[in-house]
Amino acid sequence: MISKIAKSASNIFLRSKAVAQTFNGARALAAFNFSSLEKVNKAQSRLLKAVEKELKYEEENYDATDPSLKEFLEENKLILKEDENSIFIELHKDAGENKVQILFQSRSPQTDDYQGEEEGQEQQQQQEGEEEQQNMQDYCDFIVYIVKPNGKAIAYDCSSFDSEIQVNGITLVDDVESHKQSNRYDRLANSYNGPDFHNLDERLQTALVEYLKSVGVNEDVAAFIEHYSLDKEQRLYMKWLKNVHTFLQ
């Protein structure tokens, strides 16, 4: 009888100990969860403030009312086509019986604090770095399609450096829309895209460039593309900041 009572008391003690351990574990877990939640909330608050500060700065420094853009399009009879959520921009115009389509995309500006790999560079190296930065700032790739009434086109793969157009290659295209959707590197890998432009006879190079300029693709258009590609990136960045801000609220 005594042994039964002792055994029962022992069981009660063990159960009480288990309950206490469970309670202490739950209390520790609750404290841990509260601590983790507090860290998350603080980090989120700091991030929200940083996003708000950055968004305010970008909006204050963005000129959304630049009349020169609209004036340029009207003077050159260009139609601007873009989706506010897409990185791609198109310019369209008529050139006689042909249609001209220019495809380019947004691009990020170079940072103002660009430096070389070594901090202790000489003055000449710093100047070279600044010049390189400026060249990249004024650099942009684009494709020009000159489309015949039958839908076939000649495509100029171009780059611009400080408004100066450089032709990299020329391709004949059967389906312009399909060509636009294809990746540039896939096109180069899977099909013949014409000879290296710089290997062509100089007279042929000159004639091809003159044909491009004859449909209105000149230095002014290149300057517009350089400017607008940065403008597009700016607007997409501000939209992204707004979306991040909404998510954090």
Choosing from 61, 81, 102, the residue where a domain stops is 61
| 16: containing domain | 1-61
Most confident of 16-20, 33-37, 189-193: 189-193
Q: Are residues 120 and 42 in the same domain?
A: no
* DSSP 8-state symbol, 64: T
48/50 Cα distance (integer angstroms): 5
Cα 118 to chain centroid distance, Å, stands at 28
**23: which 2 tokens?**
């309670």
Q: Rounded to two decimals, what is the model's pTM?
A: 0.76
Identify whether residues 139 and 241 lie together within a single domain: yes
Instruction: Say how far apart CA 200 and CA 193 lie, in whole Å.
Output: 14
Residue 158's closest CA among 135, 139, 179, 141? Answer: 141
Strand partners of residue 143: 103, 157
Half-sphere exposure of 115 (CA within 13 A, CB side): 8
- Read off the DSSP letter of residue 138: T
Name which of 19-28, 33-42, 163-172, 210-219 the model is least confident about.
19-28
- The yes-or-no verdict on residue 20 having pLDDT over 60 is no
What is the mean pLDDT of the segment spanning 165-194? 86
Instruction: For tokens 């002014």, name the residue.
Output: 220
Quote the CA–CA distance of 156 and 169 in Å, as a whole number. 6
Q: What is the mean pLDDT of residues 214-225?
A: 97
199 and 159 within one domain: yes
Point out the domain boundary residue: 61, 79, 108. 61
Helix (H) or strand (E) holding 222: helix 219-248
Same domain, 81 and 194: yes
| Residue 55 sits in the same domain as residue 77 | no
Residue after which a domain boundary falls, among 42, 61, 80: 61
Same domain for 167 and 71: yes
